[in-house]
Amino acid sequence: MSTSELDTLTAIERIGEGRLSQVAASQQLGITPRHLRRLFRRSAPFPTA
């Protein structure tokens, strides 16, 4: 895994924990908020029910 991928994963985890906003994370990563939302949705676990 590259450094940028690890940074993205860390940001997504922090968003999930509520410690970082999506807008702030997208600015840190240099991507658009829309792209970050797509990454966040793809990283969410599948529903179990």
> Whole domain around residue 8: which residue ranges?
3-43
11-26-12 Cα angle (round to 5): 20
Q: Which tokens belong to 7?
A: 């940074």
Distance CA 49, CA 36 (A): 26
What is the pLDDT at residue 46? 63
How many domains is the chain partitioned into structurally? 1
What is the pLDDT at residue 35? 96
Asked if the structure places residue 48 within a domain, the reply is no
Nearest to 13 by CA among 25, 1, 4, 3: 25
Model confidence, pTM: 0.78
Q: What is the pLDDT of residues 1-49, one digit of tens each?
A: 899 999 999 999 999 899 999 999 999 999 999 999 999 988 877 655 5
What is the pLDDT at residue 47? 58
Asked if the structure places residue 21 within a domain, the reply is yes
Asked if the structure places residue 49 within a domain, the reply is no
